Amino acid sequence: MNKFDRVIATLVLLQTKKTLKATTIAERFEISLRTVYRDISTLKNAGIPIIGDPGIGYSMMDGYRLPPIMFNEAEAAALLTAEKFIGKLTDQATQVAYSNAMMKIKAILRSSEKQSLEVLEDSIVISDKNSWQNKPHLQDLFKSIAAKKLVAIEYQKADDTSSQRSLEPIGCYHQANQWYLVAFCQLKKDYRTFKLNRIANLRLLEENFETVHINLQKYIDGQKDTWKEQQQFYSIEIAFQASYLKFAEGRKYYFGFVEQRVEGDAVHMKFLNSSLEVIARWLLQFGDQATVLAPTALKERLRTLATELYAHYQ
């Protein structure tokens, strides 16, 4: 990126945060702190009202805004693609909000860019039969997180009973076609994860919470680490016939793939997995084209499953 583009990008970046540290700018553009200071000086000399000093952070004077920014064709296409995903992965309120934002963006595009987007509009399809059930909670949760306001929910548990909770939301994340809310539960006095599709009712409260909670990503990483520590992982080795390797390649990472090596006409793969049952049922589809080398318990489970399958079709 040349200096002109970088300085303009820095100006845009400054408007996205209340305060922006020089180290953040340096990491974003992969430049030295000295270069950051020179770029900030360039902006100040151009009359941009930037407040702050090295070591403290920089911010724009209240009330100052850039005129509408022009998007290039690639950026506009990326936004259109995001709109398609949002239509599948979020609730109706979020979809409407994003569509309105896109309409404003399209209004400032050049004619050639508008024409390109019109062509792409019907040429990008996110086909997902298992798209998330649209429930009107995301926008309320985003408001709660941003304003640090409590929410009251009625939560439908796995055993079909329900409970009332007062929560201090810290973040939402999407995984395996589900949206999850991570919050501090005032009833349990601890952090909890809630599936959004089990929230029957949600209400924003006027009461604010002041507690500084754990970072969402750190919480998720901590939960994963805890889960791993609780699992008993098995070291598994399987020999796949080379002609069937392509069928194993597509799913190997899902089953904890570690490494592989070629031996004659077979490819030996090593896995670490906590469930012999899951691996065994996956291997059934390969028949005699996959041979379990270890552990013995997996061989025995496969033998049992094959016997049960044979008896089922007798």
**In contact, 128 and 88? CB cutoff 8 Å:** yes
Cα within 13 Å of Cα(11), Cβ side: 21
**In contact, 286 and 247? CB cutoff 8 Å:** yes
50-84 burial, b for 16+ CB within 10 Å, e for fewer?
bebeeeebbbbeeeeeeeeeebeeeebbebbeebe
281: its two tokens: 């049922």
Residue 88 is predicted with a pLDDT of 79
Strands 149-156 and 162-175: antiparallel
Give residue-wise pLDDT tens across range 200-222. 999 999 999 999 899 999 999 99
Low-confidence ranges of the chain (pLDDT < 50): none
Contacts of 259 (CB under 8 A, 6+ apart): 269, 270
Classified by CATH at the fold level, domain 234-312 comes out as: Alpha-Beta Plaits (3.30.70)
Q: At what angle do helices 92-107 and 73-89 cross, to 10 degrees?
A: 160
Residue 65 is predicted with a pLDDT of 67
Residues in the chain, overall count: 314
Residue 134 is predicted with a pLDDT of 52
**CA–CA separation, 191 and 183 (whole Å):** 6
Cα pseudo-dihedral 10, 11, 15, 20, rounded to 10: 40
Report domain 3-60's class. mainly alpha
**Comparing 3-60 with 138-228, is the CATH topology the same?**
no
Closest listed residue to residue 89, CA positions, set 102, 76, 98: 98
Give residue-wise pLDDT tens across range 178-196. 889 999 999 999 999 999 9
**CA–CA separation, 278 and 117 (whole Å):** 45
Task: Indicate the domain borders of the chain.
Answer: 3-60, 73-121, 138-228, 234-312
H-helix or E-strand containing 237? Answer: strand 234-241
**CA–CA separation, 117 and 106 (whole Å):** 9
Residue 166 is predicted with a pLDDT of 96
Cα pseudo-dihedral 162, 174, 140, 121, rounded to 10: -130
**What CATH architecture is 138-228?**
Roll (2.30)
**In contact, 149 and 204? CB cutoff 8 Å:** yes
